[in-house]
Amino acid sequence: MNTDVNQSRHHQKSEGNKGLFCCLPVVPDRQLEANIDPNRESLIRYIEKKWVNHTVLHYYFIEAPETWQGYESQKQAVRESFTAWKALGIGLEFREVSEGADAEIRIAFESGSSWSYVGRDAIDLVPNTNDRTMNFGWDLTTPYGRDTALHEIGHALGFPHEHQNPNAGIVWDEEAVYSYFGGPPNNWDRDKSFYNIIRKISSAAVQGSQWDKDSIMHYQFPSGVIITPEEYQTQSLIPAAGLSGIDINEVRKFYPERAEPEKLKLEPYLSRLVEINAGEQLDFVIQPPVSRRYAIQTFGDLDTVIVLFEDVNGEPVYLAGDDDSGTNFNSRLEIRLMRDRTYYLRLRLYFAHATGQGAVMLW
Ligand SMILES: [Zn+2]
């Protein structure tokens, strides 16, 4: 089953991918506190699904059921796509693992539809490690298929659809959208077309005023489904192949590559100031003087996500995380830490009501 002996199914797939599009699972917006400041909400929405930088993302190719298995050529296309994202020079790492329980990203190849959960939704919304978080429904070895693999991995890194960017200024002929995507080969119901195309992403989950029509996160559209910009009333919109310059800048901004960051020591009862800008990250190292239960908490009027990793043979392994964004609470972890072991705390700031008025402490 893992060989390419049976090519007939492949040929079927590659013919079948013409005009097929990524179809994301419908996920509700996370609730923030009422009457939240729009600037604060916009920063939270921009950052909330992203991983903390320097996370090692483990991916796994699902073996069962059989209809979810992929051919080796398909797995190889996915591996190459992870490599292409990494080659941009980013701080995330990608590792293939042989157990689904060890993976944040679990990949199936069930024919028909391609999709992925967006960023951290994969761990927040798919707790069952037998479930997939990404599916590829057509051949990935064609030029279109290679872009599909880059696109779904882009979702897994936390990026939404660019054609849903509220700043894009696209005005849809909504009935034409429902009709086109409702027909073969996609056969989407109206909810799927609305969720993946017509719905504008809330406030500035896609930041910046630019519309990047060449983004890997942008669909192709036939003429006649877009009213504005007017040129697409009579011509189709075909993004350039591969990653766009803006895609590359965005992923480098969220996940900057540094040599192992200069880690600040976080020691019991000594608070550390959080003096960074929205979207930026602080990395701390913790070497507990004694084994016991510890608390780690942020202080002040700020929204943060904090994630704790343990160093296991040189690799940071996720232990726990907390996200206080959009609430009146602070991020807080309580966990037993062992003497003679090394832990990393990564703190990403969403929003601070005033700079330099927040702190993090271990005790
Ligand atoms: Zn997509």
Determine the Cα–Cα distance for residues 187 and 182; give it in Å rounded to an integer: 4
> Range of 71's domain?
8-254
Residue 2 located in a structural domain: no
Final residue before a domain boundary, out of 236, 254, 272: 254
What confidence tens digit (pLDDT) does each residue in 143-201 have?
999 999 999 999 999 999 999 888 888 999 999 999 999 999 999 999 999 999 999 88
The band of 58, judged by pLDDT with boundaries at 50, 70 and 90, is very high
356 Cα: distance to centroid of ligand 1 (angstroms): 38
292: domain CATH number? 2.60.120.1050
What angle do helix axes 72-86 and 143-156 make, rounded to 10 degrees? 60
Contact 109, 68 (CB under 8 A): yes
Can you give the pLDDT at residue 6?
37
Determine the Cα–Cα distance for residues 68 and 107; give it in Å rounded to an integer: 8
One domain for residues 212 and 81: yes
One domain for residues 310 and 240: no
299 Cα: distance to centroid of ligand 1 (angstroms): 37
The band of 13, judged by pLDDT with boundaries at 50, 70 and 90, is very low
One domain for residues 324 and 344: yes
With left for phi above 0 and alpha for psi between -120 and 50, is residue 174 left, alpha or beta? Answer: alpha
> What residues contact 251, with CB distance under 8 A and at least 6 apart?
85, 88, 90, 157, 159
Give 243's Cβ-side CA count (13 Å radius): 21
122 Cα: distance to centroid of ligand 1 (angstroms): 14
The band of 206, judged by pLDDT with boundaries at 50, 70 and 90, is low
Residue 170 located in a structural domain: yes
Q: Which sign does the torsion angle of CA 251, 253, 258, 263 carry?
A: negative
151 Cα: distance to centroid of ligand 1 (angstroms): 6
216 Cα: distance to centroid of ligand 1 (angstroms): 9
What confidence tens digit (pLDDT) does each residue in 269-325 have?
999 999 888 888 999 999 999 999 999 999 998 899 999 999 999 888 899 999 988
Final residue before a domain boundary, out of 219, 254, 289: 254
351 Cα: distance to centroid of ligand 1 (angstroms): 27
What confidence tens digit (pLDDT) does each residue in 72-86 have?
999 999 999 999 999
136 Cα: distance to centroid of ligand 1 (angstroms): 11
One domain for residues 208 and 357: no
The band of 266, judged by pLDDT with boundaries at 50, 70 and 90, is very high
219 Cα: distance to centroid of ligand 1 (angstroms): 8
161 Cα: distance to centroid of ligand 1 (angstroms): 6
236: domain CATH number? 3.40.390.10
238 Cα: distance to centroid of ligand 1 (angstroms): 15
What confidence tens digit (pLDDT) does each residue in 19-32 have?
899 999 999 888 88
> What residues contact 249, with CB distance under 8 A and at least 6 apart?
none
User: What integer is the mean pLDDT of 126-155?
Assistant: 96
Determine the Cα–Cα distance for residues 26 and 173; give it in Å rounded to an integer: 22
